[in-house]
Amino acid sequence: MTSKMMADMLFALGVLSMFLLLGTFIRAKVKVLQQTFIPASVIGGFILLIFGPVGLNWLPLPKDWLTFYALIPGILIVPVVASVPLGLKINSSGNTLKNVMPLALIGSAIAMFQFTLGFATQIGFSSAFDFYPTFGWELGLGYVGGHGTAGLLGNMLQSMNLPFWQVAQGVAVTTATFGLVGGIVLGMILINIAARRGQTAILKKPGDIPESFKVGYTKDISKQPSMGRDTTMSSSIDSYAFHLAIIMGVCAISYWFLGLAKGAKVPVLKDISIWAYCIVVMFIVWWGICKLKIDFLIDGKVKSKISGSLTEFAVVAAIGSMPIKAVMTYFVPILVMCLLGYVLTIGFLWFTCRAWLKDYWFEHMIATMGMSTGVFLTGVLLLRICDPDFESPVLANYSLAYTITSVAYFAILNVFLTTLLYSGAESAVWLSLGLGAVETVAAFIISRALMGKVHNA
């Protein structure tokens, strides 16, 4: 690699940054984008898509940059996934189990049922469309996973030298966009309905959303939240750099292990995706940190800021490089599965949370719905409207349940990929349906065991 190549990469990343900033500016000015809470990264990505080489080609960007942009999400998602176990602390008290475990199982179950619906869509439309083997998987990856997980899909398929990886990544971006926008809009509607029916515990009537949530910033410095603790002294190492070094170091060790497995041609291990190695290695590293009693050096907020920063760039790049013509070939099945995905997700969460969660069932439901159609912060946003000052324990319960769900979600993805490639969509339907059913039954059993029969209005 020459210095000119490195300079070109830096130039390309700089331009990507400009679109991220442009998205931030437009979000702060355009009312309709504020009302739907579209993230700046999504706005910037679509501007790049429309006016760049893929769309109108009004911007004089080198076409080989598109290849670079398409590869970025698959690379950046590796440290994002690797960071998940870092700082994970699960309180094993009865109170935590009572509030969190049923919610985590419900969140995992709806992810599996979304996979089922996506795979069933491939089967249902197979006579009219020439699908690639993994089509339909993108519903669950886009809805529960969000835009960043589109890069994860691209990484998995590309690492296996599958030629349709970029199209699949583009379809995942499309389903993630459907999920994000529709989830927020439908969430607002549900909040209004629940408030009028008296089903919200704190919100008695729909209130105004703070202006800062709409424009994306607050001018009052005293109200700007902290990014996290400075766990190390800058005279030694910057705290942000310290956390990043741990995450990147785990990625390096994981790549080394994967290289050894491939070199030795170890069955199964040589075919596992790099991010799966990252999760296992990070669990070991985090266990070691806790055993050495130096876990005070890790701050969850700092870790989240690192993964959030990487995700922002991954989203802009994934959307901006989306092969729009190839994706639109599947527009009808994509539309059908996304619309049915709304019905499935809302219906399942409404029933299970209302029936099996005793306290603040609607608040837990709406937060999980936001996560199940968008990203973690979508759930926080919808919860913020129901519980403006976060008086209830829902945010803490939701955050921990989300972490547990995420670990389980990422752990099972390789199994689905293997099933799709070697056994087909029908086998994947039964696998996802079975896992979802088991998690649903487990949620019911744990709920009854810890809370007895629940009666909610």
Nearest-angstrom CA–CA distance, 46 and 259: 36
pLDDT of residue 419: 94
pLDDT of residue 18: 96
Q: Which tops the pLDDT comparison, 455 or 154?
A: 154
Has residue 141 got a pLDDT over 70? yes
Cα–Cα nearest to 136, from 116, 154, 118: 118
Cα dihedral 61, 67, 69, 70 sign:
positive
Residues 6+ apart with CB under 8 A from 61: 15, 52, 53
For the chain, give the mean pLDDT. 88
The answer to whether 186 and 370 have CB atoms below 8 angstroms apart is: no
E-assigned strand segments in 120-221:
none
pLDDT of residue 248: 96
Mean pLDDT of the 48-55 span: 90
pLDDT of residue 205: 60
Has residue 335 got a pLDDT over 90? yes
Nearest-angstrom CA–CA distance, 220 and 212: 10
Q: Which tops the pLDDT comparison, 381 or 256?
A: 256
Mean pLDDT of the 62-67 span: 85
Token pair belonging to 121: 């869509």
Q: What is the pLDDT of residues 240-297, one digit of tens each?
A: 999 999 999 999 999 999 999 989 888 878 777 787 888 889 999 999 999 999 999 9
Mean pLDDT of the 336-342 span: 96
pLDDT of residue 180: 87
pLDDT of residue 63: 80
